[in-house]
Chain A
Amino acid sequence: MDIGWYLAVSALIFTIGAGGVLTRRSPLVILLCLELMLNAANLALIAFSRMHGNADGQIFAIIVMVVAACEVTIGLGIIVAMHRRRLPIDVDEMRELQG
């Protein structure tokens, strides 16, 4: 199969993920969408890896998955902590960074 298809699917998933991150207010959904974006990237990496017949891309993908797992763990941890403290689960409400 032509690499173009893989990339098209990857770009599609990435765009869906990015759109989700930008439009949704629930941190849970944002995390999900982030996952989508990461996996889109993974898809592209593996596709290229296959095309070049080189394992580097797959190793990259595995590392990304590890990082993603960590990130989800921490992200969910934060959300649970927020929930316990009865803070609103809404990213627009959390703006401590405002200068």
Chain B
Amino acid sequence: MTALKFFAWATLLAPLAGAVLISLVGRRLPGRGSGYVGTGALALSFAAAIGTLVKLQGLGEEQRQVVAVAWDYARTAGVDAQLSLLIDPLSVFMILVVSGVSALIHAYSISYLDSDAGYVRFFGYLNYFVFSMLLLVLAGNFLVLIIGWAFVGAASYMLISFWYRRETATRAGIKAFVINVLGDVGLVLGTFFIFKHVGTVDFLTTFEKAKTAFEPGSADLTAGCILLLVGAFAKSAQIPLHTWLPDAMEGPTPVSALIHAATMVTAGVYLIARMHPLFELAPSAADVGAIVGCLTLLVAGTIAIAQTDLKRVIAYSTMSQIGYMIMAVSAGAYAAGLFHLMTHAFFKALLFMAAGSVIAAMAGQQDLDKMGGFKRAMPFTFGCMCIGGLALAGIPPFSGFFSKDEILLLIGDRGGWYWILYAAGYVGAFLTGVYTFRMIFRAFYGEPVREARELEDGHLHHAEVHTNPATGEIEDTEVGFPGPEHHIAERELSMKFAMSALAVLATVGGFLQIPKVTHVIDHFLEPTFHDSALYERHPSDGLLAFGLVLGAVCGLAGIAVAYYVWVKNPGTSERVRLRLAPLYRLFVNKWYFDELIDALVVRPARWFGNFAQQTFERVVVNGVLVGGSTGIVRSGSSAVRAAQTGFLRYYAALLLLGTLGVVFYFLVAA
């Protein structure tokens, strides 16, 4: 095994080893032991990822696609599935982001979850989650990809319903899981469509053969790619399969950071980038992706403006940002989409960590209506939140500015109807500014609430009786949440460390790819996309300059509006809400997607189940089939039974009569 392969396997297996170790001996470790083990495993994984990077860069540009095979998985009947990893710039890029950001999130969790009764379990799950994501991005064939894909779904289920005594949490968990399974099925069927023509599940062979196996515009390929998109949409929370994402806020805050920043939701973006040779052969499927991404970014942006749950606002912002990425990779702006994926990982993790700190100070309360004035009590958290917010809103020179603009630039460059997407992207940028700073202003500005005042006096507020914010039900603290103490960034070193590191990355991360100045990511990813027709494009300087200015202006305008509405004239939002009541209702009810899916899918399924249970099974199966066949047997047997009197002499007489009958017959016959 070469050093490259060794490092790749080590990256993948370190978190798995951590998960196994923690679940086996975690309970015996003292104090924060399992937290350190988990974080250590991730640090190891990140180090191995860097090793992979170094070794990969040591190879010539044409050789930077290495397949590492462990053993045959299902190699039979024409299927050639092995347990194989594909190590190329794209997967290395992904493992660096995933393991790096996850390591920081682990570090944050060491103290954040300290007083939770499920501390050990948490780190076991968390490590498993990262392992799953690494498996997903390192997969060398469709089958392993699907396995990683489903493992991520399962891990997210376990973490979302981490506080499993809450019925809201278990329901959110099953929702996330089922929608993810739907995505898995999409992926499986998509694989079938592609397999049918290329006869292999291996990525590189598939891409090689696809060029000759499919005619241009082949219906099977388009169907296959659209089914792959179903998988991507489910995982990346794109319309209409996004409803699980806001509900997933039931999990602990570091989980949200992990799901939204480093893992899971970015899987869809990765998938499309990975499958780019197929999508470029099926342009209509790629267009579907671009359009859905665009719709999602707008819809999510509008919903985020109306939400009052701190974490849900950030969750919808994720949806919206993922919309940008999906749009980018579907439209052929691969490097830009992945660049945004990376910067988004930095600032979104940072935002969630800051939000976690505020939520801890609020003793688990997530409602923005009940927050306010934390600026003085939590200066560090406030600073981090602002850096994250500025990066998210795309204000120069923060990282989001460069990545978002590059996406829109390349989309605009394609011309035609892509201009609509281009325009929508800037509308989305404006919305982003508004909702991000609405959230920041409402949490940190204004009159300090009781919790903020107590914190200023040096005390942390603890609620006497914890209730579930969603239902008002009294919490079961036996399972964990919330522990007796709450940990905020101002007081915990490990949280401070993780947040500082991310704040720096969120600030400077964009410098990797400054237009006309640096092209680090472009060059690095080149070997993966060497066969792409859309990769090397050089938009005009005018469009570039226009886009940069417009992006900055949109973001700033959004912040200005937020400042005017929520800080300068606090009554404004009330007035706007009354003026635009129908629109507000649409946004606050999340465009009624939950209700729509409930009416179209859940209720018919339940109706069918109940019909089967109460009507069909009783009437047809039990009544006609069972009743009919047993009825025949029963009437037949009762007729026979009548002859059985039980009198011995009656039987003897029958016997005799029978014999006489036989004798008589023979006599007559003779």
Contacts and interface: CB of A to CB of B under 8 A. Distances in A.
Q: Find out whether A and B make contact in their complex, taking CB atoms under 8 A apart as touching.
A: yes
A97 B656 contact: no
Interface in A68-99: 91-92, 94-99
B652 to A, nearest CB: 5
A22 B640 contact: no
B579 interface: no
B645 to A, nearest CB: 6
B649 A97 contact: no
Contact of B649 (A91, A96, A99): A91
A21 B649 contact: yes
Contacts of A22: 649, 652-653, 656
Contacts of A21: 649, 652
Contacts of B642: 99
A42 B645 CA distance: 32
B648 A94 contact: yes
A67 to B, nearest CB: 17
Nearest to B644: A99
B647 interface: yes
B648 A98 contact: no
A96 B644 CA distance: 10
B656 A92 contact: no
B641 interface: yes
A8 B641 CA distance: 39
Interface in B96-122: none
B416 interface: no
B645 A98 contact: yes
A25 B642 CA distance: 22
Nearest to A19: B656
A37 B509 CA distance: 112
Interface in B612-656: 637, 640-649, 652-653, 656
Contacts of A97: 644, 646
Nearest to A96: B646
B649 to A, nearest CB: 5
Given A22-B653, A22-B656, A91 B648 contact: yes
Nearest to A27: B648
Nearest to B637: A99
Contact of B640 (A23, A91, A95, A99): A99
Nearest to A99: B641
A16 interface: no
Contacts of B652: 21-22
A65 interface: no
20 contacts: A21-B652, A22-B649, A22-B656, A30-B648, A91-B648, A91-B649, A92-B647, A94-B646, A94-B648, A95-B646, A95-B647, A96-B646, A97-B644, A97-B646, A98-B644, A99-B637, A99-B640, A99-B641, A99-B644, A99-B646
Given A18-B656, A92-B647, A95-B648, 7 more contacts: A22-B652, A22-B656, A96-B646, A97-B644, A99-B640, A99-B641, A99-B643
